[in-house]
Amino acid sequence: MNSVGEACTELKREYDQCFNRWFAEKFLKGESAGDPCGQLFKRYQICVQKAIKEKDIPIEGLEFMGPSKGKTENSS
């Protein structure tokens, strides 16, 4: 599946390959320490956020790619 932004598709593939390799070769064998794909994910996340803004895709009210900003610990 391609990414929301055409320029992000290759980053998505790289991240997917890294994650799938880590999941199969490490996580499923009990080695869950570390985050070998974190930098790839951050680059992909930035690309997707840029594509969403460029395409003017409305995302108000959605929580994705991390916790909402502005929420306090006591809010429900």
Q: CB of 44 within 8 A of CB of 8? A: yes
Question: Structural domain of residue 29, as residue ranges?
Answer: 6-55
Residue 49: inside a domain: yes
Q: Which two tokens stand for residue 1?
A: 């599946």
Residue 73: inside a domain: no
Q: What is the CA radius of gyration of the chain?
A: 15
Secondary structure of residue 21 in the 3-state scheme: helix
Q: Which two tokens stand for residue 73?
A: 């610990």
pLDDT tens for each residue of the chain, 76 residues long: 788 778 899 999 999 999 999 999 999 999 988 889 999 999 999 999 898 888 887 777 666 555 545 444 444 4
> CA 8, 10, 15, 17: dihedral to nearest 10 degrees?
150
Q: How many domains does the chain have?
A: 1
Residue 70: inside a domain: no
Residue 69: inside a domain: no
d(CA 51, CA 46) in angstroms, rounded, equals 9
Predicted model pTM = 0.69
Residue 76: inside a domain: no
